[in-house]
């Protein structure tokens, strides 16, 4: 026996076209229909709100017991951010004493130019 091909889509007769029935309603019927829909929507929203508030109240005890330490640790860590002291300069230019470098990052242009063609090293620019 050959297999039957599977049907795709909705079964016949299940297609309800709300658009046509709404299009044929008069204004009074439409207003009544809208009020029914609004009532149904408000009931569903209040039911969902009650469900989620219940879930949240159950989680409230859990959070207060187990996660309060984690919340405190995270908040304490965020208080310390951005309070690192500026590094003091370790190197200074031989030609211009106002040019200084902390030693972090790339070598500054002024230092490279002063070292170019000479036997100066990075340690020669160190501030004593």
The secondary element (H helix, E strand) that includes residue 60 is: helix 27-62
Q: How many residues does the chain have?
A: 128
Answering whether pTM is above 0.75, one says no
pLDDT tens for 77-99 read: 666 666 788 999 999 999 999 99
Distance of CA 94 to the CA centre of its chain: 49
**Helix H or strand E encompassing 20:** helix 18-24
Higher per-residue pLDDT: 36 or 60 = 36
Reported as a pLDDT band with limits 50, 70 and 90, residue 20 is low
Confidence grade of residue 103 (pLDDT, cut at 50, 70, 90): very high
Q: What is the pLDDT of residue 114?
A: 93
């Amino acid at each position: 026996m050959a297999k039957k091909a599977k049907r795709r889509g909705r079964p016949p007769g299940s297609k309800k076209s709300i658009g046509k029935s709404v299009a044929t309603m008069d204004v009074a019927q439409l207003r009544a229909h809208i009020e029914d829909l609004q009532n149904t929507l408000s009931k569903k929203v209040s039911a969902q709100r009650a469900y989620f508030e219940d879930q949240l109240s159950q989680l409230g005890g859990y959070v207060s017991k187990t996660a309060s330490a984690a919340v405190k640790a995270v908040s304490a860590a965020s208080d310390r951010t951005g309070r690192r002291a500026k590094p003091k300069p370790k190197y200074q230019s031989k030609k211009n004493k106002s040019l200084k470098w902390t030693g972090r990052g790339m070598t500054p242009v002024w230092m490279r130019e002063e070292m170019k063609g000479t036997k100066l090293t990075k340690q020669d620019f160190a501030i004593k």
